[in-house]
Amino acid sequence: MAAAMIERALNPASAPLRNGVFIAVVGPSGAGKDTILDFAREALQGQPDFHFVRRVVTRPSTVDAEDHDSLSEEEFLTAQRAGAFCHCWEAHGLRYGLPVSVDQYVEQGVVAVANVSRGILPALRDSYANFIVVHITASHDVLAQRLASRGREDAEEIKRRLMRAVPNPCDPADAVMIDNSGAVSDAGNAFVAVLKKSAAFAAVSEQI
């Protein structure tokens, strides 16, 4: 099923940036997106066909959070006006940006991988000919347990995040679904397989 979804998503004739592939990782809070991204980053370490995007966020970088570049609100807006980002969005009261270098990687035939908000998916789909959404999720009980254990949200915020985790009409029907309720290696290996297949497609499409 996942392989068929990837084949349909890898479309070489619909957008200006087509040499590489953009992988958009989405999913509810607590699904373990950063954990799976870290698993894949380690598994593919040193392989130039893959670029794991380091996001810019208006939030201090801390030990228990995603490893990202931090800017103040004012610094972010200044960088945005200067053209430092190829895509930006707002979520949970924060601003997020993807460095403009992402487009350069895709133009060079690389598989670019980024954790994004589902609200930015239409803009990303319009920007990249070869575009795949990977939806990482987990059971309701697992999500609730992980949100509580990380200690970043109070009970009311956890409730709001769990409500946002239910299926949404905006969720793309062609997303590759990966369940991360169990062992990290199971979901991690499934994700790595998607990335490797995407890289193989990019290598072939560059020769056409």
Instruction: Please list, in sequence order, all residues whose beta carbon lies within 8 angstroms of the beta carbon of residue 163, skipping any fewer than 6 positions away.
Output: none
Residue 30 counted as an annotated binding residue: yes
Residue 32 counted as an annotated binding residue: yes
Nearest to 25 by CA among 121, 99, 139, 102: 121
Residue 34 counted as an annotated binding residue: yes
Q: How many residues does the chain have?
A: 208
Q: What is the helix, strand, coil percentage profile of the chain, to 5?
A: 40, 20, 35
Residue 169 counted as an annotated binding residue: no
CA distance 10 to 129: 7
Upper half-sphere CA count for residue 160 (Cβ side, 13 Å): 6
Residue 151 counted as an annotated binding residue: no
Instruction: Please list, in sequence order, all residues whose beta carbon lies within 8 angstroms of the beta carbon of residue 16, skipping any fewer than 6 positions away.
Output: 127, 129
Residue 196 counted as an annotated binding residue: no
Report the binding-site residues for ATP: 27-34
Report the binding-site residues: 27-34
